[in-house]
Amino acid sequence: MRFPFLFMGFLSLALGVFLLAYFAFLKPDGPVSGGIEFAFAFFMIAFGSWVIWRRVTGRDVQ
């Protein structure tokens, strides 16, 4: 059952990129909220990339 996890990785990656693009055009309200938003987008991109890498290379944790 690999498809749902691959889809989850692509969705997380796409939402992270969307958030970074969105915040590039519309500036955050303050430095703290901007940091939280950037950290959340970075985490989504990192998690999505990790899931896709594991599914494409076939390296499952056992």
- Predicted structure pTM score: 0.80
Q: What is the DSSP letter of 58?
A: T
Q: What sign does the CA torsion over 49, 54, 55, 61 have?
A: negative
Residue 27 is which amino acid? Answer: K
**3, 18 in Cβ contact below 8 A?**
no
**38, 31 in Cβ contact below 8 A?**
no
Can you tell me the mean pLDDT for 2-10? 83
Q: What is the pLDDT of residues 10-62, one digit of tens each?
A: 999 999 999 999 988 988 888 998 899 999 999 999 999 998 888 888 766 55
Per-residue confidence (pLDDT) for residue 49, from 0 to 100: 93
Q: Would the pLDDT of 6 be above 70?
A: yes
pLDDT interval class at 5 (50, 70, 90): confident
